[in-house]
Each structure stands twice: as C-alpha cells, then as structure tokens.
C-alpha cells in the first residue's frame, strides 16, 4: 500500500460508497439473555408471544358492586333495585364462591368478579343501607368487567424481534411473566486515543498540551448509540504502542482518534493495513476528509481525525451507523429533524459532502460553520447540522432544508430572549 504520510490522498472515497461497503459488513450481533429489568432500550432478538392471557381472570374495572345485570333492569333514581350484599372481593382476595340470584358483592377495581355476576355497578350510582345495596341505574351485561384476554390473549405475538424496547414494552413483557429475553448483544467499543500532546479529561490544559476532549465526546456518542465502552488509556504517538492496542481482542468496533491522517506521526492507517485491511482512507467529506476505516481480526476499525469537529463528523457518518447496525438498531441518523428555509446560501463543492453546523434564527436556518474542523464550540452554538449531499455545489438561500437537531428532547429550536 502507498504510504500517504506527508503526501496527501491521491484518491478520496465518496461517502455513499463507504456507507454501502459498511452496510455489507455490519449485521446484528448474536443474541444474549437479558433480565427483563434491564431490557428497556435494548433490541429484542426474538418474537415474544404471550404464554398467558392478561387479565387471566374476569376483573373488575371499577369500585362498586358485582351483580347479575338483568336484575338491575328498571332500576332508577325513584325506584332503586335493592340487593343484599353477601360479601366482598379485593384484588388478590376473591369472594370465595359464586353469587346466586338476587345477590351482590362489594368489589374493588382489579378484583376477580365472582362467578354468576356479569357486571359491576359503579359505587357512584349505588347506596348502601343495612347490608343492602340500592342500585339506582340499570346496567348492561359485561359493563365494568374486564374479560379474560382483554389486554393480551394467550399465544398472541406481543412484540417482534428488532423492536427497540420502550418503557411500556418492558412493562407488558413483565405482565406476561417474562423473566428474561433474548436481546441483540450490545457492541463493545474500544477507544484508541493517540497524541503526545494529550492530557486526560479533568486536567487543565497547560502550555502546548491540550485536554483529550475526543474521548469524552465519543463516550457520549457511543452511549447514545447503544455501545458499551471498554476501559482504555491515552496513548502516545508510538507505532508499537498503537499496534498493540489495535491487536487487542474483545471489542466489536474500534475507534481510533488522532494519528489517522497523513502527518509524520500518523501511524494508524499503515498499522491497520498491516494487521488487517484498510478499506478506505480519505473521504470526500468536509470536515473529516482524512477519515478512514478497515478491519483487524473480527473488529471494525474507524480512523477518526483528531480535530474535534472532524472526529464528531467521521463518527456520525461512518462509525455511528455501523455501531447501531451491530446493535440491531437503525443505521439512520438518530436525530430529530426540522424542515426550515435557508437564510443564506451554503457553498459546497460538487463531489464533496458537507456537514454544516447551523442555527435556527427567526425560523430560518443560518449556517454558522462550514469549515473550521478544530472549532468544537461551533457545534455547541449550533442547533443542528445540515448535510449538503455530494452532487450539490451549493444550496441557495430560500431553499427548504432538513436540520438534524442536536437536542434529543423537545428543547425549543430558538433560545428565548
């Protein structure tokens, strides 16, 4: 392989081609059994069918009186129907027998409805006097009685594989008696953070030494995308040390930050090529042009440029979708989106994809940074990003564009002043 160090890229790959290749390399990891208490947010690897019905008994949906509906016919305010109360039913403590003709049972929401009763009159239309209930309204059969299987029917497929489990999903799974479920194993991610100039996060930058912010950024992105970070250390720009890190087993995906471009100290691309295969290096993308990727053993390796915005951008375009796909999630951008009019033209270059940081002001999209891959604060000031596809040379003022929003929740798009 041609050594690109201090020479630059002869040929850059297109974002779409890289994406297509990565698509073919990333299949969901094998399933693992996960306790239901830990399943929220996980991706289900099996279809789950209910082995029981919910509810499994006829259940009172109201506090009131269990009766035979036909016996209330004609009941009204003026001429209530009076029935003797023969006992009580509580959730988990049923009335011990069925009811006979002319009987009523005081019953609470969630209690089993006694055999013989076919409706629950709600307490609001009744009055109790001397062991009797006066029912002031006729009630129809089945009223306020939750039938067996009304919520979930035994044998029904409740959730399908591939589902990213919501809080209510795990609630339902627990309600049908699941103790654990097969979920797609979460991808394990190794960070290889290189740079002689780096101080660990938590340090104060001093002199010409800077704080490793990339690992902090990447840790959050990996968590967002469902990966599990393995322990790591900051590494100096020494080929033997980087080689050892790349040779380490146990991860599904390796993120190399720094030392990935064409400088003298950029050893990672050559090492990946030596230890496995370097599938791409240099992309028609701004920022993150020097991004690369390949495979070592059964690990996917991504070379992320050290410049923080490039690091973010390279992660978002290549590593993120791959990580999500390994975890059984969608490769699509996970961001919420907003469509707005562009306040100012965005210049690009035909043949290159651009990741433009934008703000939304007065309802319009204002580009705030197209270049400046070292200016991480541009992404802090931005509301989100607009992607200028490869084939466009620019997007004109007034065009409607889609903004990938940085906030995950429904934070207002424009700060209130």
Query: Residue 258 interacts with ligand AMP (CB under 6 A)?
Result: yes
Indicate if the alpha-carbon torsion angle 155, 159, 165, 167 is positive or negative.
negative
Size of the site for ligand AMP (CB under 6 A): 20
Among 28, 294, 306, 320, binds ligand AMP (CB under 6 A): 306
Cα separations (Å) of 408 from 41, 166, 336, 412?
15, 16, 7, 11
Q: In angstroms, what is the minimal distance from the CB of 374 to ligand AMP?
A: 6
| Phi, psi (deg, nearest 5) at residue 68 | -95, 120
* Binding partner selected for residue 210 from ligand AMP, Mg ion, none, CB under the kind-specific 5 to 8 Å limit: ligand AMP
Q: Closer to ligand AMP at the Cβ: 114 or 306?
A: 306
State which of residues 114, 276, 287, 308 lies at the interface with ligand AMP (CB under 6 A): 308
User: Is 255 a binder of ligand AMP (CB under 6 A)?
Assistant: no
Residues in CB range of 99: below 8 A, 6 or more apart:
66, 67, 68, 86, 105, 114, 115, 116, 117
Binding residues among 288-327 for Mg ion as defined by CB under 5 A: 306
Q: Rounded to whole angstroms, how far apart are CA atoms 72 and 255?
A: 72
Site for ligand AMP (CB under 6 A): which residue of 53, 111, 307, 390? Answer: 307
Count of residues touching Mg ion (by CB under 5 A):
4
Kindly state whether residue 80 participates in binding Mg ion, applying the rule CB under 5 A.
no
Shortest spacing between CB 196 and ligand AMP, in angstroms: 9
Torsion of CA 282, 285, 286, 289, to 10 degrees: -10
Asked if residue 107 lies in contact with residue 61, where contact means CB atoms within 8 angstroms, the answer is no
178 binds ligand AMP (CB under 6 A): no
Give strand ranges (E) for 334-389.
337-342, 346-347, 353-361, 364-369, 384-388
* Min separation Cβ 237 and Mg ion, Å: 6
Question: Measured from the CB atom, is 374 or 411 closer to ligand AMP?
Answer: 374
The residue from 126, 172, 176, 193 that contacts ligand AMP (CB under 6 A) is: 193
Nearer residue to ligand AMP within complex by CB, 195 or 292: 195
Cβ atoms within 10 A of the Cβ of 250, count? 8
| Binds ligand AMP (CB under 6 A): choice among 175, 180, 213, 238 | 213
State the minimum distance, in angstroms, from the CB of residue 334 to ligand AMP: 23
Quick check: 260 binds ligand AMP (CB under 6 A)?
Answer: yes
Q: Does 263 bind ligand AMP (CB under 6 A)?
A: yes
Please say which residue, 103 or 266, places its beta carbon nearer to ligand AMP: 266
Q: Does 259 bind ligand AMP (CB under 6 A)?
A: yes
Is the Cβ–Cβ distance between 68 and 101 less than 8 Å? yes
CA atoms of 284 and 289, how far apart (whole Å): 6
Please write down the HEC assignment for all residues of 189-230.
EEEEEECCCEECCCCCCECCEEECCHHHHHHHHHHHCCCEEC
Q: Report if residue 134 touches ligand AMP, rule: CB under 6 A.
A: no
Q: Does 197 bind ligand AMP (CB under 6 A)?
A: yes
Sheet holding 104-107, edge to edge: 119-122, 64-67, 104-107, 81-89, 132-135, 126-129
Give the C-alpha separation, 333 to 337, whole Å: 9
φ, ψ at 314 (rounded to 5°): -65, -40
Minimum gap (Å) between residue 312 Cβ and ligand AMP: 11
Q: Is 246 helix (H, G, I), strand (E, B) or coil?
A: helix
User: Would you give the distance in Å from CA 296 to the centre of its chain?
Assistant: 28
Task: Decide: is 293 part of the binding site for ligand AMP (CB under 6 A).
Answer: no
How many angstroms separate the CA atoms of 189 and 67, rounded? 61
DSSP state letter for 268: H
Partner whose footprint covers residue 76, from Mg ion, ligand AMP, none (CB < 5 to 8 Å by kind): none
Residue 201 partner contact from Mg ion, ligand AMP, none using kind-dependent CB cut-offs of 5 to 8 Å:
none
- Strands 180-184 vs 210-211: parallel, antiparallel or unpaired: unpaired
Region binding ligand AMP by CB under 6 A among candidate stretches 57-65, 238-246, 259-267, 320-328:
259-267
* Residue 378 interaction partner, one of ligand AMP, Mg ion, none, beta carbon < 5-8 Å per kind: none
Closest approach, Cβ 410 to ligand AMP, in A, equals 31
- What is the total residue count of the chain? 417
If one asks whether residue 212 binds ligand AMP (CB under 6 A), the answer comes out as yes
Segment interacting with ligand AMP (CB under 6 A) among 26-34, 45-53, 55-63, 252-260: 252-260
Chain residues that interact with Mg ion, rule: CB under 5 A: 195, 258-259, 306
Residues at the contact surface with ligand AMP, assessed by CB under 6 A: 193, 195, 197-198, 210, 212-215, 257-261, 263, 305-308, 374
């Amino acid at each position: 392989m041609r050594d690109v160090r201090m020479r630059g890229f002869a040929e850059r790959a297109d974002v779409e081609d890289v994406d297509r290749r990565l698509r073919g390399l990333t299949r969901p990891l094998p399933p693992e059994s996960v306790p239901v208490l830990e399943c929220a947010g996980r991706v289900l690897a099996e279809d789950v069918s209910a082995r029981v019905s919910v509810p499994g008994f006829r259940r009172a949906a109201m506090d009131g009186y269990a009766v035979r509906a036909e016996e209330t016919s004609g009941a009204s305010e003026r001429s209530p129907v009076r029935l003797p109360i023969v006992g009580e039913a509580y959730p988990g403590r049923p009335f011990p027998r069925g009811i006979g003709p002319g009987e009523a049972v005081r019953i609470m929401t969630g209690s089993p409805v006694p055999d013989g009763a076919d409706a629950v009159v709600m307490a609001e239309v009744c009055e109790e006097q001397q062991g009797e209930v006066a029912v002031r309204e006729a009630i129809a059969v089945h009223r306020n009685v939750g039938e067996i299987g009304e919520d979930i029917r035994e044998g029904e497929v409740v959730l399908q594989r591939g589902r990213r489990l919501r809080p209510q999903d795990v609630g339902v799974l627990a309600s049908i008696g699941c103790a654990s479920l097969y979920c797609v194993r979460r991808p394990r991610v190794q960070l290889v953070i290189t740079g002689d100039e780096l101080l660990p996060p938590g340090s104060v930058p001093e002199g010409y030494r800077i704080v490793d912010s990339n690992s902090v950024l990447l840790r959050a992105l990996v968590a967002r995308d469902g990966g599990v970070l393995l322990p790591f250390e900051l590494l100096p720009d020494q080929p033997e040390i980087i080689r050892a890190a790349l040779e380490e087993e146990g991860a599904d995906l390796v993120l190399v930050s720094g030392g990935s471009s064409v400088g003298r100290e950029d050893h990672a691309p050559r090492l990946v090529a030596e230890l496995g295969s370097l599938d791409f290096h240099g992309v028609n993308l701004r920022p993150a042009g020097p991004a690369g990727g390949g495979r070592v053993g059964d690990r996917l390796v991504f070379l992320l440029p050290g410049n923080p915005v490039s690091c973010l951008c390279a992660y978002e375009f290549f590593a993120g979708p791959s990580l999500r796909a390994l975890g059984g999630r969608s490769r699509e951008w996970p961001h919420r989106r907003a469509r707005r009019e562009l306040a100012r033209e965005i210049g690009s270059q035909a043949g290159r994809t651009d990741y433009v940081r934008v703000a939304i002001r007065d309802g319009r999209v204002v580009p705030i940074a197209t270049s400046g891959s070292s200016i991480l604060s541009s992404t802090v000031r931005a509301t989100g990003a607009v992607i200028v596809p490869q084939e466009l040379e620019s997007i004109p003022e007034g065009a409607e564009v889609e903004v990938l929003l940085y906030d995950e929740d429904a934070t207002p798009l424009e700060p209130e002043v």
